[in-house]
Structure 1
Amino acid sequence: MSLPVLFTERLILRPVAAEDFEDWARFHADESVMRFLGGVQPRSVAWRGLCAMAGAWSIRGFSMFSLVERDSGRWVGRAGPWQPEGWPGTEVGWGVLPEFAGKGFAFEAASAAIDYAVDVLRWDDVMHSIDPGNAASIALARRLGGVNRGPIRLPPPFEADPVDNWGQSATTWRARRSAGAN
């Protein structure tokens, strides 16, 4: 199977790889990053998560991408399509390391990932499951054109976490893209 690699102005989006683990583990150990993503994880759990993302490419044909800064080669974070078993919809999620937050990397990556989801995967809808207290992700969802469609329930072990379904149809995304809004 040939795995996709996407390019944006500042990023390379590529499937996760073993070489990402140190930064992946640092991402999952950071309280500010993981506050709304299920909490801090020890290295052993982060490793299993990295392997799950990598394995999803074989099992599902899609998964989140590692985000790599084109100029420096530094690992920025992760973003992309995600729909594990029992998930309430076709999600494009994102997360970046603190040193890359607030610089437009998540918007750039999420935009490319949504394009991939609607154009290549042919998804009819894209959702973002966001904790109502996560102001930064809500702002990004709005910037992407998403609307809050109300509370949803995630599968275990996240079933008790408050989450809203932000998102839009592929038709709405394509119309915004055609108008130059994306």
Structure 2
Amino acid sequence: MRQAPTITTARLTLRPHVARDFDAYADIFASDRAGYMGQLKRRQAWFSFCSDVAQWSLFGYGAWGVERTDDGVFLGQVALLKPDHFPELELGWMMTPDGEGHGYAFEAAQAARDFAYVELGQETLVSYISPANTRSIALAMRLGAAHDESAALPDGESPAETIVYRHPDPAALQDGGMEAYA
């Protein structure tokens, strides 16, 4: 059985989820801040949490719990997920209120993106985002992703509900790549 590897960045540790992460996870999904992802009651959040964790064992990718390295405070989740209704592997993120506004989502998502391309050998990676979620769109763009109007959407979703941002391979961002123009 495979579980999430631990990745350390300048300020964060991306690690396998542990049971104590669930309360904060459920709180995120119960809050208004989850409106773009679909608010979930605690019971539904449990199934989502277990699915995010289980994808490591089933597919070799999944979700990480994100914590601040210096004090171990749980800040949210970053994930590489492809549930059955997604046409492509998705890079997703969600942060607790304490995790927002400090660049943690960018740092964690950048590490997960790099892992997808370098360690998993992915050839493509997307983020499915609500068109109204301007903060996630801004983060995707900061990561170097571009809106891909021709990309397939998750089953049952329309362009009014979901748009696709395609993330570049981090190798393309070196030597004057896309970030040089940001």
Shared fold, TM over 0.5: yes
Letter in 2 for 1:112: A
What is the Cα deviation at residue 68 of structure 1? 0.9
CA–CA distance in 2 between the matches of 1:104 and 1:174? 22
Calculate the aligned-residue CA RMSD, in Å. 1.9
Letter in 1 for 2:154: L
CA–CA distance in 2 between the matches of 1:174 and 1:165? 21
CA–CA distance in 1 between the matches of 2:55 and 2:111? 19
1:120 aligned partner? 119
1:98 aligned partner? 97
CA 1:13–1:177 in structure 2 vs 1: closer, same or farther (change >3 Å)?
A: farther
What is the Cα deviation at residue 106 of structure 1? 0.5
CA–CA distance in 2 between the matches of 1:168 and 1:100? 23
1:109 aligned partner? 108
1:25 aligned partner? 26
Q: After the TM superposition, which segments of 4 or more aligned residues of structure 1 sit over 2 Å from their partners?
A: 177-182
Letter in 1 for 2:100: A
- For the 8 Å contact 1:152–1:164, the answer to whether it is kept is no
CA–CA distance in 2 between the matches of 1:98 and 1:24? 11
Unaligned runs of 5+ in 2: none
2:74 aligned partner? 75
Letter in 2 for 1:176: L
Matches within 5 A, 1:5-154: 5-32=6-33, 34-38=34-38, 40-150=39-149, 152-154=152-154
Letter in 2 for 1:114: R
Which protein is richer in strand relative to its size? Answer: 1
The secondary structure found in structure 1 opposite 2:54 is helix
CA 1:105–1:177 in structure 2 vs 1: closer, same or farther (change >3 Å)?
A: farther
Letter in 1 for 2:36: F
Q: Which moved more, 1:110-119 or 1:143-152?
A: 143-152
What is the Cα deviation at residue 2 of structure 1? 5.0
TM-score by length of 1: 0.88
Q: Give CA-to-partner distance per residue, 1:148-175, whole Å, 9 cap, x none.
A: 012743235xx356111101342xx312
- For the 8 Å contact 1:107–1:144, the answer to whether it is kept is yes
Identity %: 32
- For the 8 Å contact 1:17–1:54, the answer to whether it is kept is no
